[in-house]
Amino acid sequence: MTAILVTGGTGTLGVPTVAALRAAGQWVRVLSRRTGPGLTTGDLLANVGLREALDGAHTVVHLATAGNKTDVDAARNLFAAARQAKISHLVLISIVGVDQIPLPYYRDKVTIERLLLDSGLPHTILRSSQFHPLLDRIFSVQHRMSVVLAPTFRVQPIDTAEVAARLTELTLGPPSGRVADVAGPEQRRGTEFARLWARAGGLNRPVVPLLLPGRTFGRFAAGHALVDGPPYGRITFAQYLANRPPREF
């Protein structure tokens, strides 16, 4: 059996994606800088161990991100190694609105998408809205404050298990280019999600609307991070909060 190589397989999206692929009967390798059971040691940025990790693989699912400028160089190294290994399908996760919202991290995602397009590799690109755990973390870092700051624009978070399920479908299918974006079932203002978060944690704190000037905030406010039409996701933020491990602040 040939393998599927997953980068970022120990991360927030990687863990459920690897589990879903294995549940579908696939042989999965998880590329990591660490060593340990179930891990294939390699370093995307240092360009170390990629040839060995790709040996015998037919598909790559690229989920790894460091959240900084190194992501572009890491992707460039991976795509070059995948091309040399004659990978038959490379699946890339990206973010809804990356080509419209001028965040540096988003601009890097656009660059990575273009690198993949220019690589000649058979590929699939899936853009997802932000995940429930990210929204949770944004509010959780404020746990020492007497209020909860939240943006007034609408957001549409999605559950990572649902993104993992879609990635698994795409990985087991043919290369499809850029496919339809996925997002969660609710488009609500950030302040509404903040109230849900506070209520779930039993916190009696006022939610303060956060208004910021500038083009980036304006693009979010204009709905460029939202997906119109029937939502892909079904799990709400409240359901995510009800099923997550209890927070200890």
Rg, C-alpha atoms of the chain: 19
Q: What pLDDT does residue 249 have? A: 58
Report the percentage of the chain scoring pLDDT > 70.
Answer: 98
Question: What is the Cα–Cα distance from 184 to 138, expressed in whole angstroms?
Answer: 17
Instruction: State the amino acid at position 195 in one-letter form.
Output: R
Question: What is the Cα–Cα distance from 17 to 31, expressed in whole angstroms?
Answer: 13
Pick the CATH number of 3-243 from 3.20.20.70, 3.90.1330.10, 3.40.50.720, 3.40.50.970: 3.40.50.720
Residue carrying structure tokens 């970022």 = 8
Residue carrying structure tokens 């991100």 = 65
Question: What is the Cα–Cα distance from 48 to 52, expressed in whole angstroms?
Answer: 9
Question: What is the Cα–Cα distance from 15 to 159, expressed in whole angstroms?
Answer: 13
Contacts of 163 (CB under 8 A, 6+ apart): 13, 16, 17, 93, 126, 128, 131, 182
pLDDT in tens, 4-17: 999 999 999 999 99
Query: Which of the four pLDDT bands, split at 50, 70 and 90, describes residue 58?
Result: very high
Q: Is the pTM of this model over 0.85?
A: yes
φ, ψ of residue 98 to 5 degrees: the values are -60, -30
pLDDT in tens, 7-47: 999 999 999 999 999 999 999 999 999 988 889 999 999 99
Domain boundaries, the chain: 3-243
pLDDT in tens, 184-206: 999 999 999 999 999 999 999 99
Question: What is the Cα–Cα distance from 77 to 50, expressed in whole angstroms?
Answer: 9
With beta carbons less than 8 A apart as the criterion, state whether 82 and 31 touch.
no
The helix or strand, by DSSP H or E, that contains position 127, with its residue range, turns out to be strand 123-128
